[in-house]
Amino acid sequence: MERRLLQAMRRFFGRPGHGVDVDFYASSWIDEIWIRSTIAACLARGLKLRLVLSGGPGAAPQALRERYAALEVPLIETAAIEELHKLRMRLVVTASSGIPKSFFGPSLRRFVHMPHSLVSLHMIYPVDAFDGYDVLFAAGPHHAREWELIRARHRLSPGLSVDVGYGKMDPLADVLREAGIPQPQRHVLLAPSWGEANLLRSMGPQLVTGLLAEGLQVTLRPHPSFFLKQEPELTATLEAAAGNPRFVLETSTDIVQTAMLTADVLVTDYSGIAFEYAALRHRPTVFVDLPKKVLNPDWQEITSEPVEIALRARLGAIAACNPGDTLQAILAAIEAPRPPEAIAAAVPDFLYEQAHVGDRAAASLIALMKDLR
């Protein structure tokens, strides 16, 4: 049915941008994983696509180029806004935040955002991070609610919110299904966010040393900015664990987070990985009680409590910000974890249906194409 509708629209309206139905865009190649299953679902329906990456030629890894060459999807790497204008994009989908419509020139008719985190939209993002989009593929009910409140507060047109789900869940679920359900390993995943107050800066070396002294397997997965900015707290933490065979550094440029699929407990501050972990594994998170991660000073004007505050106690435990209390909370979460069904009960508050996100997004894009004249 969708394929016949698509063919009819093409005959009547023609195709935008040199025969392209939908353009997918990422300000960094790292954001590609959130749109990957939607691209696959669009291809299965016969849509003609392009993937456009900023950062300039050669910024994307070779494996990513090979993936899209095999799919016969053009991959365009450019650093110049003028080059984006020349592509004459009309319908663009991105998981990158803070992108204005002006990036793509006057040809752009519909600009779709697929959130690259399950956290709320109004506290840890800059105030105007979502003003450029006119369609939101909401990952959960909080996103739909916050989108409406943000647009009203900023005096923007209502826009369109579609209940799609979280694009990254498709590839993560595929990997977990292939790997099977892991057995308990006394394995801890540390996943600090990046900012002024973060887990590594507060107690990275001390916490890692304490965990290793308890005989635990420890994986550290910092936010990508720790590597880009060469943060000293990362260096100090790595030095504290140097030579220990039970310590692994997992870079955030690894698209599939292997440790998230095997860890018994996740430890973070305000990273959105806690919500991915809860939805995928139904295992507990220990939240270190650091100052809130705030990039929007006006976030409280949006009258909806951010899920990264509201749901922490339902997804695990909140630990005082010192190595001793955090270590004890981690050990308790391993030895007597919160029942999986209790964590699963919280998932619908931040995530729509988990499976087949790409299929729902592709169907929604075909519906949007009807508005392109």
The structural architecture, per CATH, of the domain 172-349 is 3-Layer(aba) Sandwich (3.40)
Task: Tell me the C-alpha distance between 234 and 161, whole Å.
Answer: 38
Same fold, 2-166+354-369 and 172-349: yes
pLDDT, the chain, mean: 90
Strand partners, 161: 136
Summarised one tens digit per residue, pLDDT across range 234-257 is 889 889 999 999 999 987 655 556
Q: What is the pLDDT of residue 160?
A: 97
* pLDDT one digit per residue (tens) for the chain, 373 residues: 555 555 544 544 445 555 899 999 999 998 999 999 999 999 999 999 999 999 878 888 898 999 999 999 999 998 788 899 999 999 999 999 999 999 999 999 999 999 999 999 999 999 999 999 999 999 999 999 999 999 999 999 999 999 999 999 999 888 888 877 666 689 999 999 877 888 988 999 999 999 999 999 999 998 777 766 667 888 898 899 999 999 999 876 555 567 888 999 999 999 999 999 999 999 999 999 999 999 999 999 999 999 999 999 999 999 999 999 999 999 999 998 899 999 999 999 999 988 899 999 999 999 999 877 6
- State pTM to two decimals: 0.90
Q: What are phi and psi of 266, to 5 degrees?
A: -105, 140
User: Domain map of the chain by residue range?
Assistant: 2-166+354-369, 172-349
In CATH terms, the fold of domain 2-166+354-369 is Rossmann fold (3.40.50)
Q: What is the pLDDT of residue 11?
A: 43
Interaxial angle between packed helices 36-44 and 357-369, expressed in degrees from 0 to 180 and rounded to the nearest 10? 60
Six token digits for residue 295: 């990039």
Q: What is the pLDDT of residue 86?
A: 92
Q: What is the pLDDT of residue 257?
A: 62
Q: What is the pLDDT of residue 254?
A: 54
Contact 299, 176 (CB under 8 A): no
Strand partners, 249: 220
